[in-house]
A and B are shown apart, each in its own frame.
Chain A
Amino acid sequence: MVNLKDVQYIKLKIKRRNSPQEASYWQDFQIPYRPNMNIVSVLMEIRKNPVTADGQKVNPVVWECNCLEEVCGACTMLINGVPRQACAALTDKLIEKYGDRPIQLEPLTKFPVIRDLMIDRNKMFDNLKRVRAWVQVDGSWTIGRGPRLAEKDQRIAYEISHCMTCGCCLEACPNYNAKSDFVGPNAIAQVRMFNLHAIGRMQADERLEALTDKGGLQDCGNSQNCKQVCPKHINLTAHIAAMNRAANAYVLRSFLDK
C-alpha cells in the first residue's frame, strides 16, 4: 500500500496515435502530485505543458470529455486495462489500488480510433437505431400520454435509463468484435426499457423483430462481462435474459400467428 504523502509524481503511460491511418505508440508523462485529481484533470495538466517524462516536447494528448460527472460517457477509455470514465477515475484511488506505477491510458479497442484517446462512437448509436430504441410519437395527431407505468416496471426502466451509451459493456464483451455484428448488451437493455414504456410498447414487436435479426440478442454468449464493467451498475445480464424470454415468445408467436 502506497502512502500518498510519499508520491511525488502522478505517472502516466498513454497509448497515442496521430491519425487513424498511422500506427499507435506509447508515451510516458508525469505531473507533480496533487491530491484529489481525476484522469481528466491530469490530462488537462498535460495539455498545459505537453512534455513527456523524458523531456521531449510533443503534441498535447487528444481526448473527449463533456459532463465531468459520469453521465455522458464521452471520456470512456481503458484505465489500467479497465474500461471506465476518465472523469470518475480518481488518481488517489488508482494509486492506492495499483501502487505508484504509471497509470496506463488506452483508447477503447472496439471502436475506430480518431486520435490518441478519442474514438468514433457512432457504431453504438447505429446499433440503437437498428433496434429502434426510441419512443415513436411523430404522427398526424397527438397520441396522448399513455397509461401510467406500474411501480415495478418503473423500477426496471429507471435502472436501464441510467445507460449513457459509454461503451464499457461493448469493450468487455468477447462477442462484440470485428468478426460479428452483435448489437451489444446496452442495445438489448434499451429494448427492454422502450418495450416497458407506456407509448413505446406500441412498437414492441418491431423492436423484437429487429432484436432477433442477424447480429441480434442471439449472439450473446453469457460471459456476463457487461454487467461487471457497467459503471452505472445496470444488471445487463438480467435484462438480456428477460429479452431472451420475450424474443423467444415473440418468434414463436409470430410463427404460429401467420
Chain B
Amino acid sequence: MSKLSFFLRRFHSLIALIPLGIFVFVHFMLNSSIFLGNEAYMTMVNFMKHAPFVIVLELVLIAIPLIFHGLYGIYIVYLAKNNALQYKYYRNVAFYLQRITSLIMLAFLVWHVYTLRIAGGGTEDVYGILVSTLQDPVGFILYVVGIVASIYHLTNGIFTFCITWGICVGDRAQKFFATCAILLFVVMSIWAVGILLALAAA
C-alpha cells in the first residue's frame, strides 16, 4: 500500500498530541496534588490506582500509542542524517534536539514506568520508592533531565505538529507558534521541577 508511510507518519504525529500530550498535562495536574500536602497526594494516587477501567485506559490511551510512537520514532531517528554541526540554524538544532531528547525520554520512561508502575506494588510502596529516588541527588538529577528532555520533545513537537497538520503556514504564524512552544517549555519545566522539589521535601 503506497499510502502506508503517509498514514503511519500522520498517525505518529497525531497520537503524540492526542492522547499522549494531553496525558502529560493530566499527569502534571494530578501530581501537582503534592502542593496540597502528602495526604492529598496519597488520596490522588489511591484514587488513580483504583479507578474503574484504569488498566483499559492505561493500555488504550497511554501504553499502545506510546509504544507505537516510540518504535516508529526510532525508525524516524534512524532515517535522518543529522547535520546540526554543519548547518547551525536554530530549527536544525531543534530538529537534532528533538531526536536526542526522544532517546533520553525513551530511557527515562522505561525506568519511570518500570519502577513506579510495573514493579511498583501498593500505594505506600510506590510513594516510598518515588520519594527515596528523589531524595537521592543522582535520582533527582536523572528525573530533572528525563522530564525536561520529555517536555522539550513535547513542546517542540507541538510546534512541528502545527506545521505537519498545516495549521501554521506563513512566517509570522510559524514564529507565533514557535514562541508559544518555547513559553510552554519554560512554564512546564518550572512546573515539573516544582513538583519534584515538593516530592523530595515530603
Write out the residue numbers on chain B whose beta carbons fall within 8 Å of the beta carbon of A240.
163
Contact between A229 and B87, CB atoms less than 8 A apart = yes
User: Does A104 reach chain B (CB closer than 8 Å)?
Assistant: no
Which of the listed residues B5, B6, B10, B78 has the most CB atoms from chain A within 10 Å of its own CB?
B6
How many residues from B make CB contacts under 8 Å with A?
A: 33
A243 to B86, CA, bound (A): 28
Cβ proximity bits A225-237 to B, threshold 8 Å, 1 near / 0 not: 1001100000101
Interface size class of A (residues with CB under 8 A): 35 or more
Write out the residue numbers on chain A whose beta carbons fall within 8 Å of the beta carbon of B5.
214-216, 218-219
Q: Which of B10, B87, B164 contacts A225 (CB 8 A)?
A: B87
Is there contact, CB below 8 Å, between B79 and A180?
yes
CB distance from B108 to the nearest CB of A (A): 22
The stretch of A13-21, A37-45, A136-144, A245-253 in contact with B is A245-253
The segment from A48-56, A88-96, A116-124, A170-178 that touches chain B is A170-178
Contact B6 A174 (CB under 8 A): no
Contact A238–B10 (Cβ < 8 Å):
no
Instruction: Tell me which residues across on chain A come within 8 A of B92, comparing CB atoms.
Output: 174, 223-225, 228
Assembly CA distance A224 to B174 (angstroms): 11
B-contact bits for A167-202, CB 8 A (1 contact / 0 none): 000001011011110000000000000000000000
Known: A218-B9, A218-B10, A242-B169. A81 touches B86 (CB 8 A): yes
Cα-based distance from A237 to B167 in the complex (angstroms): 13
> Is B165 an interface position by the 8 A CB rule?
yes
Asked if A203 is at the interface of the complex by the 8 Å CB criterion, the answer is: no
- Contact partners of A237 in chain B: CB under 8 A: 163, 174
Report the bound CA distance from A225 to B87 in whole Å.
Answer: 7
Assess the A244–B163 pair: CB atoms within 8 A: yes
Q: Which of B75-105 contact A (CB under 8 A)?
A: 76, 78-83, 86-87, 89, 91-92, 94-96
Contact across chains for B87 and A172 when beta carbons are under 8 A apart: yes
* Bound complex: CA A223 to CA B174 (Å): 13
Contact mask B150-176 → A, CB, 8 Å, 1/0?
A: 000000000010011111111100100
B4 proximal to A (CB < 8 A): yes
- Please tell me if B3 contacts chain A, counting CB pairs below 8 Å: yes
- CB nearest to B77 among chain A residues: A221
Set A81, A222, A243, A247: member contacting B160, Cβ < 8 A: A222
Contact A212 B163 (CB under 8 A): no
What's the Cα separation between A237 and B170 when bound, in Å? 8
Contact A179 to B91, CB < 8 A, known contacts A240-B163, A244-B165, A244-B166: no
A214 to B163, Cβ gap below 8 A?
no
Min CB distance, A168 to chain B, in Å?
Answer: 11
Interface residues in chain A, defined as those with a beta carbon under 8 Å from any beta carbon in chain B: 81, 172, 174-175, 177-180, 212-216, 218-225, 228-229, 235, 237-238, 240-249, 251
Write 6 A-B pairs (CB below 8 A) sorted by A numbering: A213-B2, A219-B5, A222-B91, A248-B10, A248-B166, A251-B10
Shortest 7 CB-CB distances between A and B: which pairs?
A245-B166, A223-B95, A224-B91, A218-B9, A177-B81, A244-B166, A241-B169
